A = this chain, B = another copy of it.
Amino acid sequence: MISIGIIGGTGYTGVELLRLLARHPHAKLTVITSRSEAGKAVADLFPNLRGKVSLDFTAPNTHAYQDCDVVFFATPNGTAMQSVRELLAAGIKVIDLAADFRLRDPATWETWYAIPHVCQDLLSEAVYGLPEINRQAIRTARLVANPGCYPTAVQLGWLALLEAGLIDPGSLIADCKSGVSGAGRKASVPILQAESTENFKAYNVGGHRHWPEIKQQLALFTDKPVHLTFVPHLVPMIRGIHATLYARTTASVEELHAALTQRFATEPFVDVLPLGGHPETRTVRGVNTCRLAVHQPHGQGTAIVLAVIDNLVKGAAGQAIQNMNLMFGLDEDCGLNDVALLP
């Protein structure tokens, strides 16, 4: 059994880690810390875990994790970098679900997150935890930077077509839509039910923190310069991301589709729909699958990829466990074989 610690498990990525780990056949939840909820039973905060998780939250401290094989950070950005060095020194592997180790360039980090990076020496060691591109490196990593939710959907959508040279990297437009759980479990007026349901809006059109992450990653899949426009929107639903991805192409839709199916033929968590398909976010609710489709309407030279994930699973906790499985030599899909809850 892998002994597991979770730091900051009071948000949605935290409770999702708990849900998935509670039934993982090789995981043993050892400690979960929270400054604000220390002393409270986990199942009192999240009643869906009654009878499933018997731990209490404990206050974070340096000795709390000493029996852990791996620690997940489900904390705000800028938290993990404060203590990762110490954990690694103690032989504990780390998976950070926040952004601290996603950007390779500390200057870019500081521009977008407005926090000095105090752990720059580990940036080059950290492995970007998207198994579909980094599987081997993840297997031997001590420190994994779990990708952002939008970046996961956008990369999986464009990966095959960029690698195959079928779309123009200078023409990328990612129109992305996310359910409100992406905004986190924090008291905030704009995501109250009476505010955000029966409503649709774009946000942060002027600039969103996932833009540099997506751009950094897409650049790895092509030799040409990447020009990326990224617009996030808030969807009145709890879970799910839908990325609608536009790029210029000279390929036929059959060529585009073939590139997708070939690239992901053996991927356990990427499912390419038949030609003409429209993936729906609900078909991945609660599961680690990314579902894709591709169109090229009116023979007009625009490749349109549709990509859906559950932002809390493949976009956060599920992908983190997929990474853990790789890091500990387990089957990659261990504990991640649920069927999406539909309806």
Chain A residues at the B interface, C-beta cutoff of 8 Å: 12, 15, 18-19, 22-23, 46-52, 173, 175, 177, 179-181, 183, 185-189, 191-203, 205-207, 211, 227, 229-231, 233, 235-240, 242, 244, 246, 271, 273, 276, 278-287, 289, 291, 293, 295, 297-298, 300, 302, 304, 306, 308, 312, 337-343
Contacts and interface: CB of A to CB of B under 8 A. Distances in A.
B238 A197 contact: yes
A207 B339 CA distance: 31
A239 B271 CA distance: 27
Contact of A202 (B180, B185, B244, B312): B244
Copies of this chain held together in the complex: 4
12 contacts: A23-B338, A185-B343, A193-B195, A193-B197, A198-B198, A200-B280, A201-B279, A201-B308, A202-B244, A211-B298, A229-B297, A312-B343
Contact of A200 (B12, B195, B240, B271): B240
Nearest to A337: B23
Interface centre among A197, A285, A308 (most CB of B within 10 A): A197
A231 B341 CA distance: 27
**In the A-B complex, the 5 residue pairs with the closest CB atoms:** A48-B340, A187-B187, A199-B282, A175-B175, A48-B342
A293 B202 CA distance: 10
Interface centre among A15, A19, A235, A289 (most CB of B within 10 A): A235
Given A48-B340, A188-B187, A198 B304 contact: no
A170 to B, nearest CB: 11
Contact of A339 (B23, B194, B273, B285): B23
Contacts of A242: 200-202, 233
A194 B12 contact: yes
Contacts of A203: 278
A205 B295 contact: yes
Contacts of A196: 193
Contact of A237 (B175, B199, B233, B239): B199
Given A180-B194, A197-B197, A235-B235, A202 B283 contact: no
Contacts of A283: 47-48, 50
Nearest to A53: B339
